[in-house]
Every structure is written in C-alpha cells, then in structure tokens.
Amino acid sequence: MRNWHTMARPMRLLALALAAPLVLAACSTENSGGGTDSAAGGAATSDGDLDFAVVTHGSAGDAFWDVVQNGAEAAGEDLGVGVDYQSDGDPQRQSQLIEAAVNQDVDGIVVSMANPDALQDSITAAVDAGIPVVTINSGADRSAEFGAIGHVGQDETIAGIGAGQRLAADGAQNVLCVVHEAGNIGLEQRCAGASQGLGTDVRLLQVDINDLQSAQSTITSQLQSDDSIDAVLTLNSAVAPIAASAASDAGADVEIATFDLNGDVISAIQDGTVAFAVDQQQFEQGYLPIVMLQLYAENLNTVGGGQPVLTGPGIVDPSNVDAIADLAAEGTR
C-alpha cells in the first residue's frame, strides 16, 4: 500500500473544494435525502471519532475495486475518520456485511448496488437505524428510493454517449459492442449510449467474461464474418486485450476502445493497440463518499441536490496515458 501522506495536501484541498459550495447549499433535515427519521437519529455533531463502513460488490484483488478501496482509505486518513472496507460479490453476503455494519452502529455506510433488490432490506434497515448511506458505482436510479443521502458514480448512458462520440470523431461507423455479462443493465446502458453518441446503432455481441478464451474466439469469428465492422467497444478492461488479440487473429483493421482501466489497457494505449479507454475514475468513488458522510455527520450537508455526483466519463488516450500510468502505479487511477 502506498504512503498516503504524499497525497494528503491535494486530497485535503479536494475535500475543502467540495465542502465550500455545500455550506452555501446546506439543506434542512427534512430535505437531506435520508428522511426526517434518518437525519434525526444519525446526524449528531461529531466528536472527532467517526467510523464509516464501505461495503462493495467487488472481489478481493480486483484491480478496479482495489482503487476504490485506496480512495476510501486515503479519505479516511486525510480526514481523520475510521474507514472499514469490505467487499463480496455475492449479494446475500454483501447484505450481511451491511447488516453487520448496522449492528456495529457505524456513523455512515457506503455501498455499491449492483443488485439493488437484494440489498434493499439491509440498506433500509441502516436508514431506519439513523445511519446515513451513500451509494456508489451502481444502482443510482434506486439510491434515493432506498433513503441514501447521495450517490457517487458514473452515469452509464452518459459515459456510453461519450464513447460513441469519440468513436464517431475517429471515423467509426459500424461498431461492435461486446457485452461480457448477461442481464447487467449498466452494460446495456453503455451500449445504448454509444449508439446515441455514434449516431447509429451499435451491434451487440454477448460473451462470457469467465471464459476469456471463448470470448476471444467469438469476437474473432464475428470480425471474420463481417468485414464492415470498423471498431470494437469492450465494456471491461479485462476484455479489451482479448478484443485486440481477436482483431489480430482475424486480420481485421479495426479500432479497439474500452471502458475502465487496468495495467494491460494502459500498456495497450501506450503501444497503440487500444485507441482509448473511458475512465470512471473509481478512486473518486471511494474518496468522495467519505467526505460526504463526514460533512453530513458534522454539518448536515448533502451533495448533489438529489442527483448523482458523476465521476466520469474521462477519456484516457495517447495524449494523457503516460501521466495516467504514473498515477495508476500509485494506486489512484
């Protein structure tokens, strides 16, 4: 783990920048987004000993969620609050982790909602117990319904539009959008947004991220059977390299673009194999909710006015990839 003291001053400046407009826009208890009961029970003045729980649906060792964890823990160190980060890809287990945090009477909970229905009861229980909740990454459309005081993440449709616009600017006309997880509404929104930004419908191709070898073969076959495809958009950083390999196998001259970053994608952008990545800047998804919970605990501030706080899309391409690579090595991108 990096020495977060090297990041303390810029992160404190970020926290202050976020806090300044909020003081001007401070809401009443009833308008806090968590309901009157939640505000009355969970927003007592802090004595400096705040403890927050972060419960995500990521897996341990996942490059994306490791950066989210780094962000949350950096915020805890910068702000002098306790942060307990836990993750589990099983919705039932994730719900149990939320319930455990409620039983520990934490001062706030951050939770990602890939499966909102599975988490509704546990999140509602937290709100009913007077514990403020901030949702992150996914489930933005259900966040306020569940009583959360805010949401931090990327709007998948807006991000998809950004990707489609960039592909259009690069001259792409017939784009293959590779969906790696069946039934994931966020992935469908990314492809739909890409169609909007591109100005024409993208073509969907279903693969299984749990079998990357088969996924590569499927992409190769699609490119071999249709030489009008001029770009492939993947929705996961692990799928991007195999899409590039598939294009090579098929002898296809296509542009490869992706959502999300990892070391392989950064290297592929540097060597020209991947044109660009849509970066949702997940460090912010860990860092900003801790700031929001502290502001709420100490000053009843809320952020976003009922709308999500967007962390993307940001575009990583040859113009900025070297600087991003240095930050990624530090665990912040």
Over residues 134-143, the mean pLDDT reads: 93
pTM of this structure = 0.78
Round to whole Å and give the CA distance between 255 and 268: 12
DSSP lists the bridge partners of residue 85 as 54
**In what helix (H) or strand (E) does residue 155 lie, and over which residues does it extend?**
none
Q: Of all residues in the chain, what percent carry a pLDDT higher than 90? A: 77
Pick the more confident residue, 44 or 80.
Answer: 80
Q: Three-class SS of residue 146?
A: coil
| Domain 4-154+281-313 identical in fold to domain 156-279 | yes
Q: Three-class SS of residue 328?
A: helix
Round to whole Å and give the CA distance between 287 and 220: 39
Over residues 37-53, the mean pLDDT reads: 55
User: What's the token pair of residue 134?
Assistant: 């901030």
| Alpha helix positions (H), the chain | 8-24, 35-42, 63-79, 91-103, 116-128, 140-143, 156-169, 185-198, 212-225, 239-250, 263-271, 282-299, 321-329
45 C-beta neighbours (distance < 10 Å), count = 8
The yes-or-no verdict on residue 40 having pLDDT over 60 is no
Q: How far apart are the first and last CA of the chain?
A: 14
Length of the chain equals: 333
Round to whole Å and give the CA distance between 210 and 158: 27
pLDDT band at residue 114, thresholds of 50, 70 and 90? Answer: confident
DSSP lists the bridge partners of residue 233 as 177, 257
Task: Quote the mean pLDDT of the chain.
Answer: 87
Round to whole Å and give the CA distance between 83 and 85: 6
- 188-233 pLDDT tens trace: 999 999 999 999 999 999 999 989 999 999 999 999 999 999 999 9
Annotated domain spans of the chain: 4-154+281-313, 156-279
pLDDT band at residue 89, thresholds of 50, 70 and 90? Answer: confident
Q: Three-class SS of residue 45?
A: coil
Pick the more confident residue, 327 or 41.
Answer: 327
pLDDT band at residue 184, thresholds of 50, 70 and 90? Answer: confident
Round to whole Å and give the CA distance between 7 and 324: 15
Q: What does DSSP assign to residue 59? A: P
Whose tokens are 């982790």? That residue is 97
What's the CATH fold of domain 156-279?
Rossmann fold (3.40.50)
Round to whole Å and give the CA distance between 66 and 60: 8
Pick the more confident residue, 73 or 313.
Answer: 73
User: What's the token pair of residue 297?
Assistant: 């605990």
CB 318 within 8 A of CB 159: no
What are the distances in angstroms from CA 241 to CA 23, 61, 64? 45, 19, 16
Round to whole Å and give the CA distance between 277 and 272: 12
**In what helix (H) or strand (E) does residue 286 lie, and over which residues does it extend?**
helix 282-299
Q: Of all residues in the chain, what percent carry a pLDDT higher than 70? A: 86
The yes-or-no verdict on residue 15 having pLDDT over 90 is no
The yes-or-no verdict on residue 27 having pLDDT over 50 is no
pLDDT on residue 48: 58
- CA 6 from chain center: how many Å? 24
Residues 4-154+281-313: name the CATH superfamily.
Response regulator (3.40.50.2300)
The yes-or-no verdict on residue 281 having pLDDT over 50 is yes
CA proximity to 328, closest of 290, 281, 273:
281
Q: What does DSSP assign to residue 56? A: E
Q: What is the largest CA-CA distance in the chain?
A: 65
pLDDT band at residue 183, thresholds of 50, 70 and 90? Answer: confident
Whose tokens are 């805010």? That residue is 150
